[in-house]
Chains A and B, each alone.
Chain A
């Protein structure tokens, strides 16, 4: 997926009514945890822009691991599900984060159906 498709438009609120306040934080703390045989990252906690899509997070993880697109990598939130790649990181942390942190699990074989 290209970067143009993964960028997120600003909500109407940003340019709309003055009463609408944008409290969205710029950065989200993401914690990566490997499962099974997946290699462990040297650094497991990163900050990522809250407007990024989940796809960008997967691409980032692949880059850090040095994984090619052809190599299998399964990425989950909260040891449970893989969100749609076009979901924003901000939506994910608001719904599934703990203390404003998002936990991402990754594996080289499917871990949760």
Chain B
């Protein structure tokens, strides 16, 4: 594909195509248990993988087993059916510099929270993670990682966004079993056509280029969404203080405050002008208008790895930068030491 062709792609597909290169090491304690050695045999010491930003960690564990762990066991003389080397999907988890990664957050969101924010310069690429296949961190992560749980969790999330957008979960509930399976398979296997065909049913594009019916031309077209489903992830005061003391301090995922609010498309206080990202932030955190300006200008808002201007209409963002669950996930970080 040449560059021009790539540029012509719709934003939804370009966001879909966004990948994060990941460099994986197997946790030493797990390697000892599985292979009786902390050092893995050549050439299995490190595993590299491109992971879609819009995807979730449980959807890549199958590839990791097939392409990395299973051949490693086979070549290191592991006995088939070896009890010690058995790996349950529900036990697999990923760690970034001491922190277990929430498996039900999109990969791109985790990267924006922990790496893009903490980089203060060149972001870390590839993203160096540790794979664990034992001792699931109970209490730190939602229990029950694994493909089926991720699919169930994703269906709940897509219903949540449907409810916020339309006031009911009818669009998702009305999907046939086949359509629902195609939607989930498309996400899990990262097949855009499968996913986007069903996505178009759940979230019809307002810029749909299909011929308009007479009713639509007369203004009787599809009603717009009631509200935009979005979540802000903002570092708490404690996190900012520790970052100020030690700029090299790692961001802590538990120090992010998550705020969710059904944001209307137009600003009631400003004669129906489009709601901006700054307006949405103020609504979400119930900030009065005056002081809010100073508050937001000292911070950057990251969406899909991009620092979006605060004056961007939220409806534009919602059409272009949402994740697979049709939520906008916006990471708010301090900018003083960045850029």
Task: List residues of chain A with CB under 8 Å of any chain B CB.
Answer: 1-2, 4-5, 8-24, 55, 78, 80-88, 91, 94-96, 112-113
Known: A18-B291, A19-B295, A23-B286. A81 touches B142 (CB 8 A): no
Other-chain residue from B156, B234, B295 in contact with A83 (beta carbon distance below 8 A): B156
Q: Is the CB of B234 within 8 A of A80?
A: no
Q: Is the CB of A21 within 8 A of B287?
A: yes
CB distance from A109 to the nearest CB of B (A): 15
- Residues on the B chain within 8 Å of A17, using CB: 291, 294-295
Q: List 21 A-B contacts (CB under 8 A).
A: A9-B255, A16-B237, A18-B291, A19-B290, A19-B291, A19-B294, A20-B288, A21-B286, A23-B286, A24-B286, A80-B169, A81-B155, A83-B160, A85-B142, A91-B231, A94-B262, A95-B164, A95-B262, A96-B160, A113-B152, A113-B180
Asked if B102 is at the interface (CB within 8 A of a chain A CB), the reply is yes
Q: How many angstroms between the C-alpha atoms of A81 and B156 in the bound complex? A: 5
Task: List residues of chain B with CB under 8 Å of any chain A CB.
Answer: 102, 104, 138-140, 142-143, 152-153, 155-157, 159-160, 163-164, 169, 173, 180, 229, 231, 234-238, 240, 254-262, 285-288, 290-292, 294-295
Q: How many angstroms between the C-alpha atoms of A11 and B254 in the bound complex? A: 12
Q: How many angstroms between the C-alpha atoms of A104 and B292 in the bound complex? A: 35
Chain B's closest residue to A16 (CB) is B237
Q: Is the CB of A95 within 8 A of B261?
A: yes
Q: How many angstroms between the C-alpha atoms of A37 and B153 in the bound complex? A: 24
Q: How many angstroms between the C-alpha atoms of A9 and B260 in the bound complex? A: 15
Q: State the main secondary structure of chain A at its contact with B.
A: loop
Q: How many angstroms between the C-alpha atoms of A12 and B139 in the bound complex? A: 24
Known: A19-B288, A23-B286. A96 touches B163 (CB 8 A): yes
Known: A80-B159, A81-B169. A9 touches B261 (CB 8 A): no
Q: Is the CB of B153 within 8 A of A15?
A: no
Known: A12-B234, A80-B169, A81-B169. A86 touches B259 (CB 8 A): no
Q: Is the CB of B236 within 8 A of A1?
A: no
Q: How many angstroms between the C-alpha atoms of A23 and B236 in the bound complex? A: 17
Chain A's closest residue to B159 (CB) is A81
Q: Is the CB of A20 within 8 A of B238?
A: no
Q: Is the CB of A20 within 8 A of B295?
A: yes
